Structure 1
Amino acid sequence: MKAGLLQMYPLTPQMEAELQKRFRVHRWYEISDKQAFLQAERGAIKAIVTGGHLGVSHELAAALPNLEIVAINGVGFDKVDLHQARARGFRVTNTPDVLTEDVADLAIGLSIAVLRQLVRADNYVRSGQWKSGEMPLSNKASRRRYGIYGLGRIGKAIAIRLEAFNADIAYCGRGKQPDVAYEYHSSPLSLARACDVLIVAAAATPETRHVIDRGVLEALGTNGVLVNISRGSLVDEKALVDVLTSGGLRGAALDVFENEPHVPQELIGMQNVVLAPHIGAATHETRGEMATLVLANLDAHFAGTELPTPVV
């Protein structure tokens, strides 16, 4: 008999078909009476497939006594209780590396979009405003000072792309990296003071919650731009709204938010803010590679072999 698997959110048709071949799949997001389901199936669920943006609640994992593996279709694991996983003995995997290029590309795209006002420019043409005169000037993307908070795989990929823009690149992270030539700053506040565009690319942890706070945003200054492609929790969203409203920042470009999919109405109404619906890894190519890695982790676990990309 196939093991039970809990699918936390919709996946690509190809990935769902592969999961169906291997497991008895239960779509958690389609189950109306979740308590009744757990009473009937809790003992049969051995695997969960979820997204980094969703994770698995401590309570749900605790309700599944035979849970063996949580396979994350994404790189972030901040919404899975790793202490619980270690204590209970279930494995956690993610899909690093395969999405690095896409997220880095988006970081550059968002930076250009907000500096060159591409969204506003598109609307300027579509609305017919161009017929009445030229659009106001925007700002250069090249030869600017870029700061990257979090110089891991994605942060480094962003930096490599920025080199082609003749950018002055600095970074802040857990510590100075000996093999990195970029200027290092020991705090996000110091980094903000030294850059025009601050790109947030660090992992979400309890230590990084609201690390981009009002002080950092104000240090970035009236000519500064914030770009966030990591997690919404790293930025104090209320402070960001306040600073943007008061003219304390030139603009922002955001792919992630604190309470997704809910976005503050104030941000939606700002012309100097570019918004995206958490699409960092949302390409056909990368989603296919992510699916392959999720399946490889599941197959390895149930075959009793080494996991390709374990978290715990």
Structure 2
Amino acid sequence: MTKQQVLFIGDLNHSLPEFKRFQAKYECLEYKMTTRGQFVEDLKTKFSHISAIYGAWLGFVPIGGFRTVIEYAPSSLKVLAFCSVGYDHQDAHELAQRNIAMTNVPSDGAAEPVSELVVYFTITGFRQLHMYERQKLLKIPDTIDIRYKFANEEFNQKDGKINLSHERGYDFGERINKRPNLSPRGHNVVIVGFGQIGQLIGRKLHELGMNITYVKRSKLSNEQEDKLGYEATYASTILDVAKHGEVDLIVIACPATPETHHLINEEVIKSISKPFRIVNIGRGTVIDQEALLQGLNSGKILFAGLDVFENEPAINKDLINREDVVLTPHIGASTQENFDYAAIKALENIDDVLEGGSGISKVN
């Protein structure tokens, strides 16, 4: 009996036992995406009988989404399985019109590493640990001298730079450029987006001693809130939180949708009563980048920890050059464990559909 063909776009760990079993069951065709034109030609010819496509992390982003080639999808194609939690909603809709399942990966695997990154951003955002970076320690290799030189000048908000004193003296190290180094404990965090990842972020920040407010389209049920294992206050919008309470940190953990585009904007930033910090591990378009830079320049935003960017993959140079900003290149979920977990779930989704199921985590 001829094996069904599965086309692999992108890489995975070939040593996984799950992949070896999959290989024994299906004909696996590995492919490196080059151009849309070449892919279209290959779909018409050597891939005209494929039953499934495995889309690794980058997927079809280089060619503008699968919808740009969907008219050339062979009639044999039953499922397109992605390794990521996020997916292209338009692609999902177009595939559904052709009775092709699209599956993603549940957020279980991503939740832990992403929440760890939020903890990192949060701690350094309050304690400003990142400002003692290696280059400055090389220039001032003296634990007493560097504390004093960091402490007593005013922070250059416009350029986002530390001003160093030319004098010598003693300072405990409880401040940098007259900005206090604080524990997150007792401070108020607003988490925008409160799915599985947002809830785990809430648990970890609660364990740091923070007070948790969550923003979501609808309030969790009493039973769901009880299952959290920590106290969390609901707010329907960020503006609602700003009107009725203090905000020390905002964490963005929501997807990119028309409703969340520029959710954090000039109006929201101005509405918050005092300087605050912001972390984004959701999607870059949720924050208006120009409003963010204005907030940093004015001192209203004390710190930004960003793993995602509005014009990704490009990173704004004005953010790169600031010392009150910590950037990571969209690696919140990037651990070996999650890389393998996502691959296994994508393989399971393909197998389920090709065996007659509807897909374990079907999104269309």
TM-score, normalising length: structure 1? 0.88
Q: Which has the higher contact order (CA 8 A, sep 6+)?
A: 2
Shift of 1:271: 0.5
Distance 2:258 2:359 in 1: 26
Of 200, 208, 224, the match for 1:165: 208
Q: What's the CA shift string for 1:52-102, capped at 9, x where partnerless?
A: 665533212333133321211121124552221221111111111222122
Percentage identity across paired residues of the two chains: 29
2:146 aligned partner, one-letter code: G
Answer yes or no: is the 8 Å Cα contact 2:188–2:247 preserved in 1: yes
Matched, 1:151 2:194: yes
Question: Equivalent residues in 2 for 1:50-61 (5 A)?
Answer: 50-51=55-56, 54=59, 56-61=65-70
Secondary structure, in 3 states, of the residue corresponding to 1:71?
Answer: strand
Corresponding residue number in structure 2 for 1:116: 127
Secondary structure, in 3 states, of the residue corresponding to 2:132?
Answer: helix
Shift of 1:130: 4.3
Matched, 1:86 2:103: no
Distance 2:240 2:361 in 1: 34
Shift of 1:119: 2.5
Question: Equivalent residues in 2 for 1:183-202 (5 A)?
Answer: 183-192=233-242, 194-202=246-254
Answer yes or no: is the 8 Å Cα contact 1:192–1:198 preserved in 2: no
Answer yes or no: is the 8 Å Cα contact 1:53–1:76 preserved in 2: no
Structure 1 stretch displaced more, 89-98 or 143-152: 89-98
TM-score, normalising length: structure 2? 0.76
Secondary structure, in 3 states, of the residue corresponding to 2:305?
Answer: strand
Answer yes or no: is the 8 Å Cα contact 1:95–1:293 preserved in 2: yes
Distance 2:323 2:182 in 1: 14
Secondary structure, in 3 states, of the residue corresponding to 1:29?
Answer: coil
Of 34, 38, 45, the match for 1:40: 45
1:272 aligned partner, one-letter code: D
Q: Across the two proteins, how many residue pairs are aligned to each other?
A: 312
Distance 1:266 1:14 in 2: 42
Corresponding residue number in structure 2 for 1:62: 71
Structure 1 stretch displaced more, 146-155 or 90-99: 90-99
Secondary structure, in 3 states, of the residue corresponding to 1:250?
Answer: strand
Corresponding residue number in structure 1 for 2:342: 290
Q: What's the CA shift string for 1:212-237, capped at 9, x where partnerless?
A: 22222333466211101111122222
Distance 1:8 1:80 in 2: 19
Change (3 A) 1:29 1:121: farther
| Alignment root-mean-square deviation, CA | 2.7
Question: Equivalent residues in 2 for 1:109-258 (5 A)?
Answer: 109-123=120-134, 126-131=137-142, 132-134=145-147, 135-136=150-151, 137=175, 138-179=181-222, 180=225, 181-192=231-242, 194-220=246-272, 223-258=275-310
Structure 1 stretch displaced more, 171-180 or 264-273: 171-180
Distance 2:295 2:71 in 1: 41
